[in-house]
Amino acid sequence: MLDSKSLKLLKWLNKQYKNGNRSFSSFEVLYNSFKKYAPLDVESALETLEDYELIESIHADLTSINIKLTYAGRTYLELRRKEIINDVIKSILTPIIISIITTLVTLWIKSILKL
């Protein structure tokens, strides 16, 4: 599971990817989009995304990094949304449906036996 800063950075990268930007320099990410975070926080978020293989970083030289969003990075948010929906269905809706069916069956048996 990603921390909040890594998730925000991934959302921003996905938005940029959908707008046609296919790769990003680290300085663009650090200074233009996440000014409220310390550069070290953004660096650690980039490292987290790279550890999860959601981005690839290509080191051009010592001062710049080229960041590329992987397929896993582009689909992470969609897969996470589907996972949350499945969890809600399994943990909330299924027990409700089972309890309704159980109640209806109990009432039906009670009416047959006329207790």
The rounded distance, in Å, linking the Cα atoms of 49 and 6 is: 7
Q: Over the Cα atoms of the chain, what is R_g?
A: 24
What are the angstrom distances between the C-alpha of 85 and each of 4, 20, 78, 91, 100? 20, 29, 11, 10, 21
pTM of the model: 0.70
- Residue 112: exposure state from Cβ atoms within 10 A (0-12, 13-18, ≥19): exposed
**CATH for the stretch 4-72:** 1.10.10.10
Report residue 77 as tokens: 């948010």
In order along its 115 residues, the chain shows pLDDT tens digits of 789 989 988 998 888 888 887 777 766 666 667 777 777 788 888 889 999 999 988 765 656 678 888 999 999 999 999 999 999 999 999 999 999 999 999 999 999 887 6
Beta strand 55-59 with 65-69 is antiparallel
Q: Where do the structural domains in the chain lie, given as residue ranges?
A: 4-72
